[in-house]
Chains A and B, each alone.
Chain A
């Protein structure tokens, strides 16, 4: 049995999350991924914004920074630049990362700064009671979409890819082994990594959309998922509403802080020489 307690602040429990919520499952995978990399707890900085998922930083025994709504990646940029030897992991909700924080999300990906963003995509604003988010599918109900959501959702992984991330993977809270593996790969990758995890929010999203019990929602993740290879053989209309999982991007490209260090080397020498 994996010893989660090694990484948890046990005196902070019980946690705030609802029964049946996917956040705990995702967090456990993240802890296993960190453990498998043999990182010391002192060298990990975990940064979050505001939301149910962002509360994760309060429960884990790292250097933890719970920031303002949407700004986790911007705080993390300063963290990483000031101490590049730290492993920087951002945990963020879909609203946090792609609505209010969308600008920081794309720009960090563009810079390819070395950090790993775990995006808890539950298609809703959980913490504030179920308002629609930039990833709520069209037609789904939310407290602020009582007649069904009119807006088209973001492809959040695609967004990170287009912006320049060097590693992008999508998985679901059902695929616990895959999730752990992608997280590990993302943390190992030098550059901006995004792990999008589709995760159920049975309370603020599932209930209003009649998606059944938490177990039904986990099952739906399983049944709605396809691998990238499977998806490539299918027609666009067949992919409607499906979750394409897998490593979507894994490329080598210059990392921002490496480049900055080279600059320091170059201009610092020019001055002293």
Chain B
């Protein structure tokens, strides 16, 4: 794609950028089931994957799609699935399997209005908590967000990198607006993108313990079919990979898989700050809503109001320290979102009464407009 005369500017849709990002990260296998507003990701990959020697399959349902990507990833193929609300619900059991069996993969959820079939063609951000807690049991979660087309590309690459790095599923939580928006983008050159691959065992097969973690809590991963025969199960298992109910071993295993994320929050978390240096009021927003928030902050600045925007690019683990630091500097934190206050709830918990949290919610299928946010900024300034 390198262009000697300069970089290629392309019109691209968010979903397409996500598919392109996956290919750039080394995607080899995609399994999906059609659902609005995510289907373009599957369509794009059905077209492009076989051209590059990868494989695409439309499975019989989302449960099967989630299962298939785990099977493929275990063989060493970087794998992804994409869906929306109802399909995301169906993926939950096997998402849990991915966390306990420590199989890297990327799951994209282009959110639409819920619950149930809800609003198939309209944006929402109501799956934030499901992305964190959708599967049963205590489990780690890494959930990324994006607010634009180029960012959807970059965040997809990052989702793969984090999943390979930590041997855990990574969820990319987009929304209908970001999935369907068209923007001009200049994709980065090959060498400007860092692509991470799972750590491989350094010991011979007879010494390999598939779930014996390195110092950072992440066990090196052998792909099936390369001479390291081992057992993978969703039952609680010890370092050998075989089931155990010995309390100390169970405790250690469950704590370890959670610690992979808990002990690397700083490495994982990423926030974007806009006009925050002297801000007295802050807006915290993610996904499509952050676009309106940015506009509102710009307009408010023009009116002389000291307001800024904190935009988390990683939603889970929750950027607690960043929010807490912000709370020390501002009188109000405004949290606009397309749900009934799921992220705001976490913000309230993080600031612990140090500053006032103002919720701005919309669940009627319409986006939050900049003027609505500006209104609130003016009221609290």
Q: B residues 74-132 with Cβ under 8 Å of A?
A: 74-77, 79, 93-94, 97
The distance in angstroms between the C-alpha atoms of A57 and B229, with both chains bound, is 12
* In the complex with contacts A79-B72, A81-B72, A71-B29 CB distance below 8 A: no
The distance in angstroms between the C-alpha atoms of A65 and B346, with both chains bound, is 37
> Is residue A83 within 8 Å, beta carbon to beta carbon, of the partner chain?
yes
Are A103 and B60 neighbours in the complex by a CB distance under 8 Å?
Answer: yes
The distance in angstroms between the C-alpha atoms of A121 and B226, with both chains bound, is 33
Binary per-residue interface labels of chain A (67-90) against chain B in the complex, 1 for a CB within 8 Å, 0 otherwise: 110010011111111110110000
* Residue of B whose beta carbon sits closest to that of A81: B55
Partner of A79 from B65, B74, B231 at Cβ < 8 Å: B74
> Is residue A178 within 8 Å, beta carbon to beta carbon, of the partner chain?
no
Partner of B59 from A64, A77, A79 at Cβ < 8 Å: A77
Q: Which residues of B contact A78 (CB under 8 A)?
A: 29, 31, 67-75, 79
Are A268 and B70 neighbours in the complex by a CB distance under 8 Å?
Answer: no
> Is residue B230 within 8 Å, beta carbon to beta carbon, of the partner chain?
yes
> Is residue B57 within 8 Å, beta carbon to beta carbon, of the partner chain?
yes
Tally of A interface residues using CB under 8 Å: 40
Binary per-residue interface labels of chain A (30-47) against chain B in the complex, 1 for a CB within 8 Å, 0 otherwise: 000000000001110101
The distance in angstroms between the C-alpha atoms of A61 and B229, with both chains bound, is 7
* In the complex with contacts A42-B229, A83-B225, A86-B224, A66-B235 CB distance below 8 A: yes
Measured CB to CB, the closest approach of chain A to B60, in angstroms, equals 4
> Is residue B243 within 8 Å, beta carbon to beta carbon, of the partner chain?
yes
The distance in angstroms between the C-alpha atoms of A68 and B60, with both chains bound, is 16
Are B70 and A63 neighbours in the complex by a CB distance under 8 Å?
Answer: no
**Number of A-B residue pairs having CB atoms within 8 Å of each other in the complex:** 135
Measured CB to CB, the closest approach of chain A to B10, in angstroms, equals 18
> Is residue A229 within 8 Å, beta carbon to beta carbon, of the partner chain?
no
The distance in angstroms between the C-alpha atoms of A46 and B237, with both chains bound, is 18
Q: Which residues of B contact A42 (CB under 8 A)?
A: 225-227, 229
> Is residue B242 within 8 Å, beta carbon to beta carbon, of the partner chain?
yes
* Residue of A whose beta carbon sits closest to that of B227: A42
Are A65 and B232 neighbours in the complex by a CB distance under 8 Å?
Answer: yes
* Residue of B whose beta carbon sits closest to that of A100: B63
Are B234 and A68 neighbours in the complex by a CB distance under 8 Å?
Answer: yes
The distance in angstroms between the C-alpha atoms of A62 and B225, with both chains bound, is 9
Q: B residues 220-261 with Cβ under 8 Å of A?
A: 224-227, 229-235, 242-243
Are A77 and B225 neighbours in the complex by a CB distance under 8 Å?
Answer: no
The distance in angstroms between the C-alpha atoms of A57 and B210, with both chains bound, is 16
The distance in angstroms between the C-alpha atoms of A44 and B311, with both chains bound, is 48
Measured CB to CB, the closest approach of chain A to B146, in angstroms, equals 26
> Is residue B53 within 8 Å, beta carbon to beta carbon, of the partner chain?
yes
Partner of B231 from A57, A76, A85, A264 at Cβ < 8 Å: A57
Measured CB to CB, the closest approach of chain B to A119, in angstroms, equals 18
Are B231 and A271 neighbours in the complex by a CB distance under 8 Å?
Answer: no
Are A58 and B93 neighbours in the complex by a CB distance under 8 Å?
Answer: no
> Is residue B364 within 8 Å, beta carbon to beta carbon, of the partner chain?
no
Are B53 and A264 neighbours in the complex by a CB distance under 8 Å?
Answer: yes
Q: Jot down 20 A-B pairs with beta carbons below 8 A, ordered by A.
A: A45-B224, A58-B231, A61-B229, A66-B235, A67-B67, A71-B64, A74-B59, A74-B63, A75-B68, A75-B71, A77-B31, A77-B59, A78-B68, A78-B71, A78-B72, A83-B76, A86-B225, A263-B50, A267-B50, A271-B51
Binding site for A on B (CB under 8 A): 28-29, 31, 50-53, 55, 57, 59-61, 63-65, 67-77, 79, 93-94, 97, 224-227, 229-235, 242-243
